[in-house]
Each structure stands twice: as C-alpha cells, then as structure tokens.
Amino acid sequence: MPVVNSLCVFCGASTPPDIRFLDAAGSLGRTLAAEGIELVYGGGALGLMGTIARAARDAGGKVTGIIPTFLTKLEEKLQGISETVEVETMHQRKRLMFERSDAFIVLPGGMGTLDETVEMITWAQLQLHRKPILLVDYLGYWQPFISLVEHVIGTGFARPNTRDFITIVPDVEAILPTLEKLTIAGGPATMPVAE
C-alpha cells in the first residue's frame, strides 16, 4: 500500500539547460507510477512539468493535470493522461491541486512554483492544513529560498516554527522514505501544526 494516495508536484514549465533536473523529474514520475501514487500537477506538457507527467503516464501511472483555460491558449497541455481538469483561475487551480493531494513535492521551478509553494506554507502556518511540504533541494537549487526563509524568520517577520512546515530533502530518491516517516500509521500523511 502506498505511503500516500496522491502527490501534488510543483515544478517549472521551462526546460533548464542542465538535463539533470529533467532526469530527476522523469525518475520521480516513474517512481510514483510504480508505487501506485497518483500525480497531481499543473497540466502542462513543457519543462519539468511535462517531463514528470509524461514519465508517470508512460509507466502506467495515474496522472491528473489541473490547468486554467486561459493557459491552454499559451501553452500545450499534455495529452493522454488520466484526467485533465480545466478551471477558470490560478486560484482555483491551486485550491483543486490542494484538495486532490495528500502532500506536496517542490522540484526546481520559477515564479509559479514559488507562488504555489509559499501559498501552501502560508496555509499550513494558518492551520488550514497538515499536509507535508517537501522541498527537493536537488543540486542545491533551493538554497537561496531556504536562506530567504531563514532571513524572514531572523528579522522577526515570521515565527521560528515556519521552518517546521517545510521538509528539505536532497533528491527525488529521498521523497518516499521521508514521507513514510511523516505519515502517522493508519492515517493520512500529516505534519505538526503550530499550537
């Protein structure tokens, strides 16, 4: 039985010059399919986003893409996945991704990835959810963001427990073992919430 039923993966829609990022995304997609874990993602066909979804789809995994209709006019949505849900706004997209997922995985990405990640951290801080958020610091990609979080805490603009809402892992191979440690036996994946 899988550690979780579904994982939302936030990641870039751009294709980085360093193919190791693409390789990591593909590896995660294949792993999710092999473990019977549904991939919930942003619905696009490009960049890391397209790579992970294609890998999961091609390995027989369940893949759900959630994309605003206006984005389908700007970028290609991936065909042949289990389900594509079109919504009106970016806010609806994030809300539906949240509702359909047991935990969040953050791979390297750009401004959209940052937006999604910070919103999930904020919702956890506001005690709106207890779902794990795993930041995959592959090749040190997220070090500047981690430093920024520490800076925000250090200057008093966020509570020290803010760091408790983020679990940092070094690579995609560490995701499922880490989630297993964060999962309460017999219950949904959870994380500590501020009292």
Counting as low any pLDDT under 50, the low residues of the chain are 184-195
pLDDT of residue 182: 84
CB-facing half-sphere around the CA of 107: CA atoms within 13 A:
31
β-bridge mates for residue 38, sequence order? 6
Residues 142, 76, 7, 128: is their CA dihedral positive or negative?
A: positive
Say if residue 73 is exposed, middle or buried (CB neighbours under 10 Å; 0-12, 13-18, 19+).
Answer: exposed
Number of neighbouring beta carbons within 10 Å of residue 167: 19
Token pair 């994030």 in the structure block, residue: 94
pLDDT of residue 191: 43
pLDDT of residue 3: 83
Q: How many whole angstroms separate alpha carbon 136 and alpha carbon 143?
A: 10
- Are the CB atoms for 131 and 104 separated by under 8 Å? yes
Number of neighbouring beta carbons within 10 Å of residue 11: 29
Q: In terms of Cα–Cα distance, which of 144, 77, 108, 121 is closest to 11? A: 108
pLDDT of residue 190: 45
Does pTM top 0.95 for this prediction?
Answer: no
Of the chain, the end-to-end C-alpha distance in Å amounts to 31
pLDDT of residue 1: 66
SS3 118: helix
Q: Structurally, what CATH architecture does the domain formed by 6-180 represent?
A: 3-Layer(aba) Sandwich (3.40)
Q: What stretches of the chain adopt beta strand conformation (E)? A: 6-10, 38-41, 63-68, 83-87, 103-106, 133-136, 167-169
SS3 64: strand
